[in-house]
Structure 1
Amino acid sequence: MATYPNLLKPLDLGFTTLKNRVLMGSMHTGLEETGDWNRVAEFYAERARGDVALMVTGGIGPNLEGSVLPGAAMMVSEQDIENHRVVTDRVHEAGGKIAMQILHAGRYSYGPKCVAPSPVKSPISPFPPNELDEDGIEKQIADIVEAARKAKLAGYDGVEIMGSEGYFLNQFLVTHTNKRTDRWGGSYENRMRLPLEVVRRTREATGTDFIIIYRLSMIDLVPDGSTFDEVVQLAQEIEKAGATIINTGIGWHEARIPTIATSVPRAAFAWVTKKLMGKVGIPVITSNRINTPEVAEEVLSTGCADMVSLARPMLADAYFVAKAARGETSHIAPCIACNQACLDHTFGGKLTSCLVNPRACHETELPIEPATDIKTLAVVGSGPAGLSTAITAAERGHKVTLFDQSDEIGGQLNMAKQIPGKEEFWGLVDWYRAMVTDLGIEVKLNTTATPDMLAGFDEVVIATGVLPRDPEIPGQDGPNVVNYIDVLRGKAKVGHKVAVIGAGGIGFDVSEFLAHEGTSPTVDLPLWMKEWGVTDPAEHRSGLAPEGPQPEEPAREITLLQRKKTKHGKGLGKTTGWIHRAALKMKDVNFVGGVNYEKIDASGLHVSFGEARENPTVIEADTIVLCAGQVSERSLAEALESQGTKVHVIGGADVAAELDAKRAINQGTRLAAAL
């Protein structure tokens, strides 16, 4: 049995003890904005039942001007206190502890009433902020402190004061956003006056038996950010002002360096937090891309921090800590840091969930309960749709048989995991394999299911996925043309000059796969830091390397083409699309849009532009890779339906839209929950 002595060790805060070293970091789920406080309470209570030591809510605004969005949750009224008490009571009944994050967004607030130290507009908001005068600053301090006082009345064990990620307090700290010349600007002593005043007055208002976490930006990753000496100075003064714990913030939201996406190495910034260890006497928490008990234990055992913050992993599996304590690490549903159902939903105005766990934030409306009528279930296809159906159905007690033509489960996840930057998919497939084995699901690989094989099952689920769409380009049957499946499975030889047809998610993945050779930066932290221009903030202000990004030379010359005139990758994730575009541009990939594919011959790919098919051009290429979309593989479903057999068709077999694992897993889970 794996043991995690540092991870599971209690932490004595003096007036209270945390049961282990795991904090569930703050996430903007949108739950508080639903007004369904039972639903909010159940989300947090389930994580409390999973034995996380301390949870932090999503950001709660202290006033209207500081709220992240119009209609965002605030702590300003007596009714707010009563609503939040529903949450804290439920968490305490479940044996947990919870802190409320007080988030003043400053110039990041998405509205015309936003305020900031100086009228410097954020590049990620259309609203220029209003510069605060002395009275305005006093109001912001008073409102934050009052929100903390109300949080204590609502039963919270503490608050987290958000001072990082480029939000309000962080905006006062750096000359990037603070151009003031009064006592709130100029020298660093003046610029850090606001966060210190907030912490000091919050401690006075809440007493000594209340957790105050200060979220401190350890590395800003924006021009004119903090030096590390300033970070240490602030941390020491924050401790004196009365904070209980310092939590790590990494990078501003406007930084053009990825900090939590799947292509970021695991625990990529723990070394930054380690630099603060020993310089303050209160516990320090590290964060970002810590997603397994092994990674967390390593971070703690090497002295990088006193605690670890896990946010999205707690969406993927509410019982992360409890399973680690029981030695059931292989049963922990892994966070793959895809952002697709969490941050992409948040920035799209949707309720948060999780790609690998659709029950996240839907605990009350998607219960997984023992079946009263045990059925035999045939699932054809072991991609994400079929696997989620099979596992959920087996958990409920149904007898499941899983069929697949391949020699391994995982479907197209097995191609995704080959992409540099998507190594987390290996862990996802491993988790599926462990769950299938432990649940006793009968697996028939290398098997082409037929209607006769499926006769006699109570329910038949068709999850046969997709086939590549035929782009019907003259000459595509030539020896210099291959499809993305053969490329990613290593069955196709690809030359130095490559034209990739199709700039959707698969086209981007194939381009990244072909542009890299050798070690993936995602598994080599120094290489990744060099690629993105990250350095020690003790050497260069804000942690930005003066020479900028220094990626390795591309392995091939690649042209990525699409019929649409729109921006390449427009359909990629809201929070990750820019990363993929930047990564390919650093590899000198040529983006070409608005093309017509005329023909392919030995000289390469012939294209024209626009409806008039103008400017005929030859894209010289040794190899042309077809990534021109997918069509549903429904042949088995149609054969069964023609015989009158009722089937459930899910995943890509239902709708061929890129390789949408989020939709496939959600569909499969919900189907199995309803059978």
Structure 2
Amino acid sequence: MASPYPTIASPIRVDGHVLRNRIVMGSMHTGLEGEPGRFGELARFYGDRARGGAALIVTGGFSPNLAGRVKEHPSVLDSADTVPAHRLITDAVHEHGGRIVLQLLHTGRYGYHDAIVAPSPIQAPINRYKPAEITPEQIRRTIDDYAASAALALEAGYDGVEIMGSEGYLISQFLAPRTNQRDDGWGGDLERRARFAVEVTKAVRQAMGAEPILCYRISALDLVEGGLTGDETVWLAGALEAAGAGCLNTGIGWHEAKVPTIAGVVPHAAFAEATARIKAAVSIPVIASNRINLPETAERVLRDGQADMISMARPFLADPDFVAKAASGRADLINVCIACNQACLDHYFLDRTVTCLVNPWAVRELERTAEPAATRKRIAVVGAGVAGIACALEAARRGHDVTLYDRAERPGGQLRLAAVVPGKEDYGRAIDGFWNQLREAGVTCRFGAPADAAGLSEAGYDEIVVSTGVVPRALDIPGADDPRVVGYADILTGAVAAGERVLVIGGGGIGHDVALFLAHPPSGGPEDLAAFEAHWGLNGEARHQPPARRVTMLKRSPGAFGRTLGKSTGWILRQELRDFGVRQLAGVTYEKIDGAGLHILTDGVPEVLPADTIVVCAGQLSDAGLADELTARGCRVHLVGGARLAGELDAQRAIEEGARLGNRL
């Protein structure tokens, strides 16, 4: 059968290696790079992705020396001591026909420790540590360290290395006037600022020889003031090719850039044109990256000649079989990366092992059993939100006879509600993928009618999983029964149309999402690249469209809004709300609602807020009544997700709970 994505499926030569297709699994820190004793887990993680079809895998970053490490706990390749541990990883990938390169990453001023160095002693705005200025002698030693690490990588079985020269790390810091204010042979004009990048590349090529892969991660767009211009980047690409780079992998934006680059608000393949400019300037393969999470998007970028290969990082957390599913014509079964960053980047920043919201087994593969259950059971799962879906899938894959119930016509629960929020459109794609997986796994889906305790009890199920989720907390003040008061689900489903003046009661994640949904202009959809570029000022000064409505957010607790939002994405949502003029009032006491509006006290000062619509996002309560009824009837009952614990709605927790329960039933 011909591949539905023929360009993706075509092989390509990089240095002395022929790769079986055009898909690269991009570098991701997992949190295990500094723990050689856990490299068996990394071996399984990378091995599964090679088995699933990834042609080339790039590891998380390893520094060539201690000064370049990311955190105090070092992930460094500077001696032969860890070579045997690395061999576990490379052997696992080669066993499944993949190729793997080790990323060499020196963080420079981005390191989170007190021994950091940089071209100039300029503190990064995202780091509390100030770097020391690297001396000429240290520069020479660092270049030698890169070469020594590359040689050790080959000894460990890697097929080459990737030099990290993007995202604002040390090599970027040498290249950019923003961070390089030297006046010696390593700073000044572009050629001298580029000297470090070029000499590192030459030294690594000399240490490895001609056959191994030498990939250089080049910043296609810096997105910071004082970064490289487009013409300078094109010149650099040519200089790197001449220095011995065998391919160029494009990165987008420094970590301190105030432009989203990988979050859901970014249109798919938004930066492919920047990659295309580099591709036109060199003869070696060029790799596109950032917000390419669907096979059709990857195929289009390749077919249009904007890149030779595609790098996907988080999509391989979400689904190790991404390539195999696409190649076999079953892209509908792909576990779609939703670009939430909640369990990957945010985990890493919090010193937790990385995983994935839609795939809780990522980097935890050894904790899951794939063996058929010893006894096949009849299992009912009531509630087709993400916890119920995850549980049903895992139980069915272990051979159980599973029936999934939901009163709604379609699965997804709260995640499907979220899919209408601007920037979260991929949530809907993920739910569609889950539904296809349910049918593929043989789960019987009974949607569109509630399940009752009597019927479930009489059906004689061996196990009943209650994943009925949450119910919104009602507003308890005089006038709360006013017809202008509505729940967030009514707004997000379109059951109620909001008026011009809207009050959003609640400052949690749902309140922020609802405020954005209501304020966001009707134009500038998820794939409107021109609108994205204008809003974030990619081609000049930022230009914001007028908001759709006048929105005010309120919360009882004092302090800033958005403290519970994701570390790597919360800033984007907060900025969008500011851009669309959303007013925020904290420390509010709600008095009553009458014809004049919502009466409040803020620091003892009364105010009346006129409103056409008042949306309640004031928390949730567990909907667990069915579990109590079933238990009273003597059924074997399990509670998962919001039905077990409402709190701040957490899809990651719900999916993991459901998956782990389903896997052990």
Q: Which amino acid aligns with 1:463?
A: S
Tell me the secondary structure at the aligned position of residue 440 of structure 1: coil
| Partner residue, 1:217 | 219
**Residues 172, 194 of structure 1: 8 Å contact kept:** yes
Residues 243-291 of structure 1, C-alpha deviations (whole Å, 9 max, x = no match): 1100001000000111001111111111110112221010000000111
Alignment pair present for 1:597 and 2:590: yes
| Partner residue, 2:620 | 630
What is the TM-score normalised by the length of structure 1? 0.96
Cα distance between partner residues in 1 of 2:359 and 2:269: 22
| Partner residue, 2:561 | 568
| Partner residue, 1:658 | 648
| Partner residue, 2:178 | 176
Tell me the secondary structure at the aligned position of residue 413 of structure 2: coil
Tell me the secondary structure at the aligned position of residue 44 of structure 1: helix
Residues 435-492 of structure 1, C-alpha deviations (whole Å, 9 max, x = no match): 1222221111122111122120001000000000123122111122111011111111
| Partner residue, 2:125 | 123
Q: What does 1:108-257 align with in structure 2 at a 5 Å threshold? A: 108-257=110-259
**Uncovered stretches (5+) of structure 1, i.e. residues with no partner:** 536-544
**Residues 15, 214 of structure 2: 8 Å contact kept:** no
Please state how far the C-alpha of 1:562 moved relative to its aligned partner: 1.2
| Partner residue, 1:540 | none
**Residues 521, 545 of structure 2: 8 Å contact kept:** no
Evaluate the alpha carbon distance shift between residue 520 and residue 391 of structure 1 in structure 2; reply closer, same or farther with a 3 A threshold: farther
**Residues 485, 614 of structure 2: 8 Å contact kept:** yes
| Partner residue, 2:377 | 375
Q: Which amino acid aligns with 1:176?
A: R
| Partner residue, 2:531 | 527
Query: Which moves more between the two structures, 245-254 or 397-406?
Result: 397-406
Please state how far the C-alpha of 1:78 moved relative to its aligned partner: 1.6
Evaluate the alpha carbon distance shift between residue 333 and residue 224 of structure 1 in structure 2; reply closer, same or farther with a 3 A threshold: same
Q: Which amino acid aligns with 2:615?
A: V
| Partner residue, 1:512 | 516
| Partner residue, 1:25 | 26
* Among candidates 438, 446, 452, match of residue 436 of structure 1: 438
Please state how far the C-alpha of 1:13 moved relative to its aligned partner: 2.7
**Residues 631, 656 of structure 1: 8 Å contact kept:** yes
| Partner residue, 2:581 | 588
Alignment pair present for 1:12 and 2:13: yes
Cα distance between partner residues in 2 of 1:19 and 1:597: 63
Please state how far the C-alpha of 1:643 moved relative to its aligned partner: 2.7
| Partner residue, 2:276 | 274
| Partner residue, 1:671 | 661
| Partner residue, 1:398 | 400
| Partner residue, 1:3 | 4
Please state how far the C-alpha of 1:14 moved relative to its aligned partner: 4.9
Q: Which amino acid aligns with 1:499?
A: L
| Partner residue, 1:457 | 461
Tell me the secondary structure at the aligned position of residue 276 of structure 1: helix
Alignment pair present for 1:617 and 2:597: no
Residues 576-622 of structure 1, C-alpha deviations (whole Å, 9 max, x = no match): 00010001100010111111111112222211134xxx111222222
Please state how far the C-alpha of 1:566 moved relative to its aligned partner: 2.5
Evaluate the alpha carbon distance shift between residue 427 and residue 498 of structure 1 in structure 2; reply closer, same or farther with a 3 A threshold: same
Evaluate the alpha carbon distance shift between residue 340 and residue 53 of structure 1 in structure 2; reply closer, same or farther with a 3 A threshold: same
Cα distance between partner residues in 2 of 1:571 and 1:308: 34
Residues 316-352 of structure 1, C-alpha deviations (whole Å, 9 max, x = no match): 1101111111111111111111101111101111101
**Residues 421, 520 of structure 1: 8 Å contact kept:** no
Tell me the secondary structure at the aligned position of residue 336 of structure 1: coil
Q: Tell me how large the CA RMSD over aligned residues is.
A: 1.2
Tell me the secondary structure at the aligned position of residue 558 of structure 1: strand
Aligned pairs, number = 661
**Residues 604, 624 of structure 1: 8 Å contact kept:** no
**Residues 361, 368 of structure 2: 8 Å contact kept:** yes
* Among candidates 627, 636, 647, match of residue 646 of structure 1: 636
Query: Which moves more between the two structures, 177-186 or 651-660?
Result: 651-660
| Partner residue, 1:319 | 321
Cα distance between partner residues in 2 of 1:266 and 1:369: 37
| Partner residue, 1:306 | 308
Q: Which amino acid aligns with 2:467?
A: A
Tell me the secondary structure at the aligned position of residue 185 of structure 2: coil
Structure 1 runs, 4 residues or longer, greater than 4 Å off: none
**Residues 384, 467 of structure 2: 8 Å contact kept:** yes
Please state how far the C-alpha of 1:631 moved relative to its aligned partner: 0.5
Alignment pair present for 1:557 and 2:554: no
**Residues 146, 203 of structure 2: 8 Å contact kept:** no
Tell me the secondary structure at the aligned position of residue 322 of structure 1: helix
Cα distance between partner residues in 2 of 1:250 and 1:14: 24
Please state how far the C-alpha of 1:495 moved relative to its aligned partner: 1.3
Residues 637-668 of structure 1, C-alpha deviations (whole Å, 9 max, x = no match): 11112233221100000111333111111111
**Residues 368, 392 of structure 1: 8 Å contact kept:** no
Query: Which moves more between the two structures, 212-221 or 432-441?
Result: 432-441
Cα distance between partner residues in 2 of 1:406 and 1:183: 67
Q: What does 1:330-349 align with in structure 2 at a 5 Å threshold? A: 330-349=332-351
**Uncovered stretches (5+) of structure 2, i.e. residues with no partner:** none
Q: Which amino acid aligns with 1:568?
A: F
Tell me the secondary structure at the aligned position of residue 410 of structure 2: coil
Q: What does 1:405-424 align with in structure 2 at a 5 Å threshold? A: 405-424=407-426
**Residues 346, 566 of structure 2: 8 Å contact kept:** yes
Please state how far the C-alpha of 1:635 moved relative to its aligned partner: 0.8
Cα distance between partner residues in 1 of 2:348 and 2:609: 40
Cα distance between partner residues in 2 of 1:438 and 1:110: 45
Cα distance between partner residues in 1 of 2:237 and 2:275: 11
Cα distance between partner residues in 1 of 2:448 and 2:66: 60
Tell me the secondary structure at the aligned position of residue 57 of structure 1: strand
Please state how far the C-alpha of 1:520 moved relative to its aligned partner: 4.2
Please state how far the C-alpha of 1:99 moved relative to its aligned partner: 0.3
Q: Which amino acid aligns with 1:558?
A: V
Q: What does 1:477-556 align with in structure 2 at a 5 Å threshold? A: 477-535=481-539, 545=540, 547=541, 549-556=542-549
Alignment pair present for 1:261 and 2:263: yes
Alignment pair present for 1:606 and 2:599: yes
Residues 543-585 of structure 1, C-alpha deviations (whole Å, 9 max, x = no match): xx2x2x2121101111111112232111011100001000110
Cα distance between partner residues in 2 of 1:410 and 1:519: 26
Please state how far the C-alpha of 1:72 moved relative to its aligned partner: 2.9
Evaluate the alpha carbon distance shift between residue 66 and residue 46 of structure 1 in structure 2; reply closer, same or farther with a 3 A threshold: same
**Residues 420, 520 of structure 1: 8 Å contact kept:** no
Please state how far the C-alpha of 1:516 moved relative to its aligned partner: 2.0
Cα distance between partner residues in 2 of 1:108 and 1:674: 42
| Partner residue, 1:37 | 39
Tell me the secondary structure at the aligned position of residue 36 of structure 1: helix
**Residues 369, 673 of structure 1: 8 Å contact kept:** no
**Residues 288, 310 of structure 2: 8 Å contact kept:** yes
Query: Which moves more between the two structures, 47-56 or 600-609?
Result: 600-609
Tell me the secondary structure at the aligned position of residue 575 of structure 1: coil
Q: What does 1:84-95 align with in structure 2 at a 5 Å threshold? A: 84-95=86-97
Please state how far the C-alpha of 1:222 moved relative to its aligned partner: 0.5
| Partner residue, 1:541 | none
**Residues 15, 246 of structure 2: 8 Å contact kept:** no
Cα distance between partner residues in 2 of 1:115 and 1:260: 27
Cα distance between partner residues in 2 of 1:290 and 1:7: 13
Cα distance between partner residues in 2 of 1:274 and 1:474: 60
